[in-house]
Copies of this chain bind each other. A is one copy, B any other.
Amino acid sequence: MPAPLLSLDAPLLLQQIDALGRIGQDAPESGRTRIALTDADRAGRDQLVKWMRALDLDVQVDRIGNLFGTLPGRADGPPLMIGSHIDTVRHAGALDGCYGVLAGLAVQRAYRQAGQMPQRGIVVAAFTNEEGVRFQPDMMGSLVHAGGLALQQALDTVGTDGVRLGDALAQIGYAGTLEPGTIRPQAYLELHIEQGPVLEAEGTLIGVVEDLQGISWQKVSVQGVANHAGTTPTRLRHDAAYAAAACICFLREQVAAAPPGTTLATTGSLRLEPDLVNVIARQATFTVDLRDPDAQRLQAAEQRFAGFLEALALREGVQIRTEQLVRFDPVVFDATLASRIEAAAARRGLSHRRMTSGAGHDAQMIARIAPAAMIFVPSRGGISHNPREHTDETQLIQGAEVLLDVVQACLATP
């Protein structure tokens, strides 16, 4: 006899997204802040574990703090994994990461409520420190899980606040015992808001993410000479603040000229020393975030910037040091999974398009050890990492339903 039809408990999913979003909330209208391995992150994790237990899942925590909730399957063998993260940036929206994790629970709940056992186990994963705000690199938990970063090295990472990651993890009580990478999925799916404007702009409902752009993060330190702002002729200055500004303007020129959907450049963090109105800056430290779906183009952009720095240092008589904080080549996702997502969206009559992920996601790490793909839903105004991040509830539900369908399709195949 055919298995009873699975259906999603939409109200409960929305309820949980809302409830998780209230944890670590900032001032009204200022979103929430649950930076990795802080007390707020702990509170979020505690809530998630509670919900996992309510579904009677087998809850496991590994040594880097990745959280797994497994719904057992009829057959053994590698489970299907649905994952994302619940840590946030400062003043974040409620959806980034959390939506994917809670939609995973909703899928497991659909089986529970139908009294049905999946053909194989379904694991929902919440990976540690995806945002990389306090500890770098970002996507750290999934990277360790995939074997791309040694556990000890990750635990020894020192945060922007000088705290060692391993200590912070123990501090919030999520230093588990499971060896990272133990759970090797048969396939990995991640549902996420687009965090970009493409789907909304086109009026498309489902993004079939077939690849993910490469990311290069550099920290640039400019050493100039502090001097009096009123007496130092322009030609005799070694102004670290100007040098930093020149870099930002150069990068903007470069990407303004680049075709849409190619290179992006951002300087989001910049600090001056001594940071006084009437003193020429002795030092400027800033970050450069370069992204491109094409590996060659990304490298070329990095090289052009390096060349500019060299010329600038000579011209301004400053010393410039760069440090690579993060570097990930572009990732191509699994073609079969992508077509399954496409098919599921089509069956439900939802408009869809193939697309590239502009953001980094845990999926790109898990793609190293298992077939992986992502499902996107629209982000209003393309706004994310911001309290104004928003996706309509219907769209959130539609995305979760596509995920449910794809999960069933995956489990139906041996």
**Chain A residues proximal to chain B, CB less than 8 Å:** 89-91, 131-133, 138, 194-197, 213, 215, 217, 225-236, 239, 241-242, 244-249, 252, 255-256, 258, 260-261, 264-272, 274-282, 287, 289, 291, 325, 357-360, 382-386
Copies, count: 2
Question: Would you give 12 A-B contacts (Cβ < 8 Å), ordered by A?
Answer: A89-B279, A195-B230, A217-B278, A229-B266, A230-B264, A231-B359, A234-B258, A241-B268, A245-B248, A266-B278, A270-B272, A279-B385
Given contacts A217-B277, A272-B269, contact A360 B287 (CB under 8 A): no
Given contacts A268-B272, A270-B275, A275-B269, contact A245 B255 (CB under 8 A): no
Q: State whether A239 touches B227 (Cβ < 8 A).
A: no
CA distance A395 to B138 in the complex (A): 56
Q: Is the interface of A mostly helix, strand, loop or mixed?
A: loop
CB-CB under 8 A from A384, the residues of chain B are: 227-228, 231
Name the one of B227, B230, B241, B360 contacting A215, with C-beta atoms under 8 angstroms: B230
Q: State whether A242 touches B248 (Cβ < 8 A).
A: yes
CB-CB under 8 A from A291, the residues of chain B are: 229-230
CB-CB under 8 A from A385, the residues of chain B are: 226-228, 276, 278-279
Name the one of B215, B228, B255, B386 contacting A358, with C-beta atoms under 8 angstroms: B228
Name the one of B239, B247, B268 contacting A266, with C-beta atoms under 8 angstroms: B239
CA distance A213 to B230 in the complex (A): 8
A236 to B, closest residue via Cβ? B197
Name the one of B227, B234, B256, B359 contacting A256, with C-beta atoms under 8 angstroms: B234
Q: State whether A90 touches B274 (Cβ < 8 A).
A: yes
CB-CB under 8 A from A225, the residues of chain B are: 383, 386
Given contacts A266-B239, A275-B269, contact A386 B230 (CB under 8 A): no
CB-CB under 8 A from A255, the residues of chain B are: 234
Name the one of B91, B232, B239, B266 contacting A382, with C-beta atoms under 8 angstroms: B232
Name the one of B195, B247, B268, B274 contacting A281, with C-beta atoms under 8 angstroms: B268
Q: State whether B277 touches A269 (Cβ < 8 A).
A: yes
CA distance A228 to B138 in the complex (A): 14
CB-CB under 8 A from A258, the residues of chain B are: 234
Q: State whether B268 touches A276 (Cβ < 8 A).
A: yes
CB-CB under 8 A from A266, the residues of chain B are: 229, 239, 241, 278, 280
A361 to B, closest residue via Cβ? B230
Given contacts A241-B270, A242-B252, contact A278 B132 (CB under 8 A): yes
